[in-house]
Structure 1
Amino acid sequence: MKFVLIYVIVLLALLANEVLSKPRKKKEKNVCENKALTDGKQRPEGSCSKTIQGIIPSSDKMTSSLIISPKNGAVLDSNKPFNVEVVIHNLETGFFSDPETQYYLEPQTVNSNGLVKGHSHVTIQKIDGLNPPNAKNFEFFEGLNKKAKAGHLVVKVVSKNGTPGLPAGKYRICTMSSSFTHQPLLMPVAKRGAQDDCIRITVKECEEKEKKEEKKKEKGGKKRTLMAI
């Protein structure tokens, strides 16, 4: 009887030790507690999303973009139509959900070749010296929801008041690539090239540009006259 009692005590001690030595699972924190949940609508006041991140592509299939027109540093005439042309690699474009009802609702997905399904945007902001522009303010914004042709996407720029082109000023033109329901693209590694591109341009009043051209011509004429003398 004593032997059985000792055996039971030892067994209980071993079981207790095993239970105590097992790492306890931490209770998952509910980050969305007492917060408005993301419901497919764009909420300027902010919300909390429970959508999982989804499928992340391999490092061989990471997205990359380049704005090829206008050129970086280009000088354009004010209120004159121009296009922004973008080349995108490793993004299956044409996947664009309704931003009014499906915003951030679905996880990122990839196609059979491992490329993220999504789309891009072009956004243009006026810039002032070294001050970062307010993200809420923009002169032009458009989603590129069509399928790219050989990786090329083109959009015609029209200012917010409906005038072609842009008023005079300095501007930053950027792409913003997104997955199907508009969340920023998820890539597999931190150390990588950017998936989007930005350029800077200057837009000048036509009269100002013409005056400069006239001054150049005048200087050229004076030089030729002096050489003739």
Structure 2
Amino acid sequence: MGQAYVSDAVELIDDPHAYVILRADWASYQFGARRYNRFNLRPAVRLSYRTEFGRFALLYKRGVLRPSADEQNPEIDYISEFEQTVGNTSLGAELSDQLVFAYGRPVGSAYLSFNASASETRDMIVGVLANSYNLSTYENAARCRAGRLSASYRQPFFDYRFNVSGTLFAGWEEYIVLPRFVPKSQNQGNSGFSFGGYLDVSYDTESNWEFSLYGSYESRDVSFASTLYDTPIYGGGSG
């Protein structure tokens, strides 16, 4: 497995900046006498501009998630008489494209920021039935669309020794099985809306001790095969 990339940063006029990175990934797998090669490009572009009203930024990036060795292994994994799994050597990588708009500005000694993102994942690797109901395999059989909005605020006090930061967010995810795989798919997709937030309070003493309290909550965790309903998480620490 290997990786190579080329990047460039360009300054336009006075402040506007553009950052471009082109990354190439390749991987090689061998099962028995056969070798399989995979190649993918992962571009990323970031544009940002500072004004008297704050900084605006726009980011695009592509993600690549390759199938694991188990998902490609052509040997049958015999779990029981009624459950066997076999890999698929023809699997391709999952490809995701994400677009993010970000805005941030100082408000006195505090900092306020907003983010809006949209993403799409194609060729998701999911389990499907093979030639019988007790033999399953893997296919690039689904896609996902997601959107998210968030707002964050950070406020320091007492010469930045006492800090309070918080984030509120809301999002939507939709997992769709491609039509030709619906009869064989072990799951029929999923979708859902979620919201939540994070809060962190920390204090740095003059003797370099740090004390912190934190809490987080997300209403639900939506995935291709399940929806989990979460409870608040909170805690603290020192060091």
- Give the number of the structure whose residues are more often strand, by fraction: 2
Range into which the TM-score falls when normalised by the shorter chain = under 0.3
User: Please, what TM-score do these two structures have when normalized by structure 1?
Assistant: 0.23
> Which structure's CA Rg is the greater one?
1
- Give the number of the structure whose residues are more often helix, by fraction: 1
